[in-house]
Structure 1
Amino acid sequence: MSNGLSFFLGLLVVVVLAPSKATNNVVDIQKEVVGIGRVMDYSSRVGKEQKVAMEIALRHTSPSNSTAQLGLRYHDTSPNSTSPVTAAINLIKSKAVQVIIGMLTTQEAALISEVDNTTKNLPYISLITPATSQSVSVPHQSASYFQMANDIIFHMQCIAVVVGHFRWRKVTAIHEQSSLFSTGFGFITHLSDSLRVVNSEIEHHAAFPSLSSLSDPHTAIEEELKKLQNKSNRVFIVVQFSFQSAVLLFEKAKQMGMMENGYVWIIADEISSFLGSVDSSVMHNMQGVIGIKTSFPEKTKAFKQFKIRFRRLYGLLYPEEENTNPSIFALRAYDAVSAISKASKKFKGNVTSKEIAKTILSSDFKGLSGIIRFKNGVLSEIPTFQIINVVGKSYRQLALWSPGYGFSEYFVEHDEMKLGMDDDGAMNGTMGPLYWPGGRQTVPRGWTWANGEAPLRIGVPSRGAFNQFVRVSYEQDRNQTSISGFSIEVFEAVVGRLPYQLPYFFVSFSDSYDELVKHVHSKKLDAAVGDIEIMAYRSQYVDFSQPYVSSGLVMIVKVEPDRDKETWMFMRAYTQKMWLLIMVMHLSICSVVWLIENEHVQNPEFKGLGAMLWGTT
């Protein structure tokens, strides 16, 4: 771009953003400015979107009938700049701000309050998603901390139901270590609890270093992926990850062949929400990825007007960006300024931070991202998530999911949509056809035999008491040992029903059963199969499966036939009551016949009737 064109665009942006002095001098004198301190990383996509959205909100939501007007104060927290805590403190001390908006965690807000007691009642509006309830993360956090996001529990539940829908029993959680996501491992606990409901669990979790802390990010990401590639699990859930790091993560995964058949990638909202705002090269590296994305009303008139303004201003400020569509992060930044604007309208005269915090706490309005209402410091509205699948240059929606309603192709809130889980932990709802990594059509098993792992050694007793259960014989013509029997068939049937391949080989064991158990306990054998009796002292060394044959002493005797019982066996055809009823009916019919016959003999007048009845003359 030429210098002349750059100057022209910069001048145009100034004209768009800067208020007219000719029309605002009177307002500036009469109105008190409510300072809004913005603590954001303006080098990131999310920071750019939030900056543009807040500028638009400032122009269209500022109270015109109030004695106060809104004013934005900036502070960059990019990797080469100051930390969010330092930036917030500098804004508070050097600028007149009554509220802080930005990517601040609950711990960082608490640290600011400890450093400066004057900021105790200062409201903080955090734009980090997903949100963690204050009652869980920071018990003593001030009530003036608000999170413009839904509780993290809903996000973890949505990921869990996707895992349960495809019956993956083990997953690997991937997260990023950075100041932005410095809330500890609370999300791991929430995810683990949610997965337990669908009979799944976290087998591994990997912490990737943040990009800002790395001198060679490409090599570091590649080394972390190699560790995961050497493990058996192939279901990766990427949570608490910045979008910039996620772009590099999938670029390296693509190069290393980890986006091929057999792999499963699930991404959380903080990545999925940007898929509509990235270029085609990023989408190329993420083919087959499943994501959960917070749904918001896109067909409202307010959103359509905002989208037009956003794309126009974003394109002017950042012409190098290929896509200018707003994400939910932009919408929530807009709604945050709207909440402050609505709070400022209610005051006359001096506006304090305490009053703003109290008013924001009671917010209840319909914003661009949904209903803005707080409970325990987070948005109280129950969210709806889009389950999406990256295909081609974009993504397609597979289903919608919401707590209490489950999966739906088209989300309609009525009782019939309350879909739950079956006994196996799978969701009863449906999901559209998926495009999996590598282009396969069948659901990946989510597990493979990792490189370098030896097959399982299964011990089999060669001197079993009952050959029907285990039979070990040597076939000379084939020069190999043959192992068969009912126990072997049961074991092979169980292995065949596993959702993954399990390499193993049988080892003939000629010693006692107790020694066989001890070999399993000492790891000389991985398991044992056969007619091994479950004893209390053996249970101290190994775990037994459920018995499939009842044990104990059984006496088998020959049954002599009873001729007397066989003679009267026909009596068992009916019950006693039925036999009594048959006898009564028989006697009744015989009595009627006898009376008619007797009357026919004694009464001549009955002769004609008798002849008609009996067919005689």
Structure 2
Amino acid sequence: MPESNLSVDIGVVLDLNSPFGAMANMCMSMAISDFYAAHSNYQTRLFLHSRDSAGSVVATTSAVVDLLKNVEVHAIITSDHLLNANKYVMALEEKAQVPFISFSPTQSTQFIHTTQNLSSSVKAIGAVLQEFKWREVVLIHEDTSYGIGIIPYAIDIFQELGIRLVHMSAISSFAEDFEISKALKTLITLMQTRVFLVHMTVSIGSRLFELADKAGMMSKEYVWLITDGMSNSLDAVDLTTVEGMKGVLGIRPYVPKSKDLESFGKRWTSSTMALEKIRLLNISTTFLQVNNTESSIGVENLGVSQIGPRLLNEIFDAKITGLSGEFELVNGQLQQSTFEVFNMIGQEQNVVGYWAQDKGLSRNLGSTKRSTLSNSSKLKKIIWPGHSIKIPKGWDIPKLKVGIPVPEGFTQFVEIQRNPYTKETKCTGFSCDVFLATLEALDFEVLYEFVPLMNAEGRSAGTYDELLYQIEDKV
């Protein structure tokens, strides 16, 4: 390396024992190597210092302290949601003026969110719910700042679309299997809605689906949708769990195919270009020490990065074309205008359509034409849970018991025909015809059973008022 090159230390805090953390750490190292091989003239060099969060608050905090105090990194990259709720880490970050590049949402002003804006993602989900005329949905989210972050968007956007968020089930990322199973059982027994939206990271989400499959919730008439929290990380899910997720619909940002994506050459363009601009301005890459004492390990003993604030501004201003398409931050959040909708069929993830901010749902990019091949005209053929091709109605209701009077002679409105062998009751006449025609007009199937107010001799067992009392008595 030429002597004029400056090394810039960057911290990485990931759960390195998880499939996603290990993969992300490896990809970043590969991307840096590829980038500098193609840009050997750059005078700055990024050096990664990885630390294992081990999925715990204590290990995460210790890793951040070590990187800031001992390594003096000028940025920290993380996907660990544990940082978001850690006030001590937030204080360290603000004091050191070091930007945190996060894969999950947070309220910190120093964080750069490289995940997509949740507002657009929820709008895409809402469009899918509207397409199938599902008016009620249950949200299952992990009980972290990442999981909770979707709630305000879901409430507002679904309300605008006429969709009711009937229940929200929060599940701890540290929940035992029996606790997750208990939460699922509650949803089965207490909720009639069978449309579930899952907003979780892959570690807890994969366990949820494994237990849902065991509980019989991956069968016909169930609807499951997943956000990009899982959609982007399905490669980290074991094959057994993936097989049990047949019929799931996923929403994830659309990434256009390109040679750059195949060659993996521009992964770190935004950070490295930002650092190169700073280097040319001759800003020091050392930490400025403030109130340094031997005994203190708190905020007051932390140095201040002289490059951090400028690096933060440069990344905020970055507008580039990278592996995933256009990269631009608005208020510290990566924007996304197009999502793809995919259907999980075993190990396959079949793309069945797209959602764009300006065009809504469509079967193909750049097209809004409706197909006449199916009722779901804006999306391609979907295989639902239970290997069904029939669109689920979205809720589970018991068979309707329809009370009917037994007429004495006048049968133009109601006439009862009862099979003496099967005991099945059929109803004809004007009133029954209107009822049956109404059921036919619905977009979903309603099971029903006629229950005549009849005695053993086949004659009327009471007045019309007495028939109405059968409703109050729950007969």
- TM-score normalised according to structure 1 size: 0.60
Compared CA separation, residues 462 and 438, structure 1 to 2 (3 A): closer
Structure 1 residue aligned with 2:50: 74
Larger-gyration structure (1/2): 1
Compared CA separation, residues 502 and 344, structure 1 to 2 (3 A): farther
Deviation at 1:480, TM superposition (A): 12
Deviation at 1:418, TM superposition (A): 5.7
Secondary structure of the residue that 2:225 maps to in structure 1? strand
Structure 1 residue aligned with 2:308: 353
Structure 2 residue aligned with 1:243: 202
Compared CA separation, residues 193 and 459, structure 1 to 2 (3 A): farther
- The 8 Å contact of residues 364 and 373 in structure 1, kept in 2 or not, is answered as yes
Structure 2 residue aligned with 1:389: 343
* Residues 41-78 of structure 1: per-residue CA shift (max 9 Å, x gap): 11222211221122123323357555543222222112
Query: Are positions 1:367 and 2:330 aligned together?
Result: no
Partners of 2:137 and 2:229 in 1: CA distance: 19
Structure 1 residue aligned with 2:25: 51
| 1:431 equivalent among 373, 379, 385 | 379
* Residues 521-549 of structure 1: per-residue CA shift (max 9 Å, x gap): xx93679xxxxxxxxxxxxxxxxxxxxxx
Partners of 2:426 and 2:315 in 1: CA distance: 77
Amino acid at match of 2:156: D
Secondary structure of the residue that 1:205 maps to in structure 2? strand
Structure 1 residue aligned with 2:184: 225
Deviation at 1:220, TM superposition (A): 2.7
Deviation at 1:79, TM superposition (A): 2.4
| 1:401 equivalent among 348, 355, 361 | 355
Structure 1 residue aligned with 2:137: 171
Structure 2 residue aligned with 1:234: 194
Structure 2 residue aligned with 1:284: 243
Structure 1 residue aligned with 2:15: 41
Partners of 1:364 and 1:373 in 2: CA distance: 5
Partners of 1:146 and 1:92 in 2: CA distance: 17
| 2:114 equivalent among 125, 148, 156 | 148
Compared CA separation, residues 470 and 526, structure 1 to 2 (3 A): farther
Partners of 1:201 and 1:284 in 2: CA distance: 30
Query: Are positions 1:114 and 2:114 aligned together?
Result: no
Secondary structure of the residue that 1:262 maps to in structure 2? coil
- The 8 Å contact of residues 67 and 349 in structure 1, kept in 2 or not, is answered as no
- The 8 Å contact of residues 125 and 146 in structure 1, kept in 2 or not, is answered as yes
Amino acid at match of 2:89: I
Q: Which runs of 5+ in 1 are unaligned?
A: 1-23, 132-136, 308-330, 421-426, 528-617
Deviation at 1:299, TM superposition (A): 2.5
- The 8 Å contact of residues 382 and 389 in structure 2, kept in 1 or not, is answered as yes
Deviation at 1:209, TM superposition (A): 2.4
Compared CA separation, residues 335 and 208, structure 1 to 2 (3 A): farther
Query: Are positions 1:201 and 2:164 aligned together?
Result: yes
Structure 1 residue aligned with 2:446: 501
Q: Within 5 Å, which residues of 2 pair with 1:96-495?
A: 96-103=72-79, 107-108=84-85, 112-114=89-91, 118-119=95-96, 121-128=97-104, 131=105, 138=107, 141-142=108-109, 144-177=110-143, 181-183=144-146, 185-210=148-173, 213-214=174-175, 217-230=176-189, 231-239=191-199, 241-276=200-235, 278=237, 280-300=239-259, 302-306=260-264, 334=268, 337-338=271-272, 340-351=274-285, 352-380=307-335, 382-412=336-366, 417=367, 430-449=378-397, 490-491=434-435, 493-495=437-439
Partners of 2:140 and 2:103 in 1: CA distance: 22
Deviation at 1:439, TM superposition (A): 1.5
Deviation at 1:448, TM superposition (A): 1.8
Compared CA separation, residues 272 and 480, structure 1 to 2 (3 A): closer
- Between Structure 1 and Structure 2, how many residues are aligned? 434
Q: Which runs of 5+ in 2 are unaligned?
A: 286-306, 454-461
Partners of 1:245 and 1:470 in 2: CA distance: 57
Partners of 2:406 and 2:311 in 1: CA distance: 81
Higher-strand-fraction structure: 2
Amino acid at match of 2:31: A
Which segment drifts farther, 59-68 or 189-198?
A: 59-68
Structure 2 residue aligned with 1:89: 65
Deviation at 1:406, TM superposition (A): 2.2
Amino acid at match of 1:433: K
Secondary structure of the residue that 1:373 maps to in structure 2? strand
Secondary structure of the residue that 1:291 maps to in structure 2? strand
Partners of 1:189 and 1:506 in 2: CA distance: 45
Amino acid at match of 2:165: I
Secondary structure of the residue that 2:139 maps to in structure 1? strand
- The 8 Å contact of residues 66 and 346 in structure 1, kept in 2 or not, is answered as no
* Residues 323-353 of structure 1: per-residue CA shift (max 9 Å, x gap): xxxxxxxx86x45644554554543241411
- The 8 Å contact of residues 206 and 237 in structure 2, kept in 1 or not, is answered as no
Partners of 2:355 and 2:392 in 1: CA distance: 22
* Residues 536-576 of structure 1: per-residue CA shift (max 9 Å, x gap): xxxxxxxxxxxxxxxxxxxxxxxxxxxxxxxxxxxxxxxxx
* Residues 114-159 of structure 1: per-residue CA shift (max 9 Å, x gap): 356523x32121122xx5xxxxx74xx42x3211122101111111
- The 8 Å contact of residues 406 and 452 in structure 2, kept in 1 or not, is answered as no
Compared CA separation, residues 511 and 439, structure 1 to 2 (3 A): closer
Compared CA separation, residues 158 and 171, structure 1 to 2 (3 A): same
* Residues 15-43 of structure 1: per-residue CA shift (max 9 Å, x gap): xxxxxxxxx4x64xx54432211121112
Deviation at 1:183, TM superposition (A): 4.6
Structure 2 residue aligned with 1:531: none
- The 8 Å contact of residues 364 and 372 in structure 1, kept in 2 or not, is answered as yes
Partners of 2:450 and 2:9 in 1: CA distance: 72
Partners of 2:412 and 2:89 in 1: CA distance: 71
Partners of 2:66 and 2:403 in 1: CA distance: 69
- The 8 Å contact of residues 469 and 488 in structure 1, kept in 2 or not, is answered as no
Compared CA separation, residues 182 and 162, structure 1 to 2 (3 A): same
Secondary structure of the residue that 2:165 maps to in structure 1? strand
- The 8 Å contact of residues 387 and 399 in structure 1, kept in 2 or not, is answered as yes
* Residues 212-247 of structure 1: per-residue CA shift (max 9 Å, x gap): x24xx33333222222232322222111x1212222
Deviation at 1:457, TM superposition (A): 7.3
Partners of 1:371 and 1:104 in 2: CA distance: 25
Q: Percent identity?
A: 25
Amino acid at match of 1:306: F
Partners of 2:424 and 2:185 in 1: CA distance: 40
Structure 1 residue aligned with 2:290: none
Which segment drifts farther, 274-283 or 156-165?
A: 274-283
Deviation at 1:510, TM superposition (A): 5.2
Compared CA separation, residues 297 and 33, structure 1 to 2 (3 A): same
- TM-score normalised according to structure 2 size: 0.77
Structure 2 residue aligned with 1:572: none
Compared CA separation, residues 342 and 288, structure 1 to 2 (3 A): farther
- The 8 Å contact of residues 202 and 236 in structure 2, kept in 1 or not, is answered as no
Structure 2 residue aligned with 1:8: none
Higher-helix-fraction structure: 1
